[in-house]
Amino acid sequence: MAQKPNVRAALMSSLTLSESAFAETRLGSHFPHLEGARIGPYTIRATSQDGRNVEIVLCTTYRFLDGKGRAVANAAMETARSIDERLDAVLIQEPQSAERPPKCP
């Protein structure tokens, strides 16, 4: 959320967020340099000031990068050395009706 400081400030002033976020996708062993890495969307449990439980969903887009920081084509994504991820949207939803994976715009 550091990429969107005003959004972060608004959320932090009205919600108590969990210390951890849950990534919806974890890269497998077919990514030899990124095995175990996580990519969004991410879900954070939170509590409002009046005690209501909600989930914050961080919707992201990402690019796989080679060793020189250049984008890797989708056909060769398994060769990537790093990930460039951007926060696009933040959703607030009720935990009981939360869809998995969350539907991001």
The distance of Cα 23 from the centroid of its chain, to the nearest Å, equals 6
Using an 8 Å Cβ cutoff, are 30 and 87 in contact?
A: no
CA–CA separation, 82 and 16 (whole Å): 31
Its pTM stands at 0.86
Query: 42: which strand partners?
Result: 23, 58
pLDDT at 41 over 70: yes
Q: What percent of the chain has pLDDT over 70?
A: 96
Other Cβ atoms closer than 10 A to 21:
17
CA–CA distance from 48 to each of 36, 61, 86, 96 (Å)? 32, 27, 26, 15
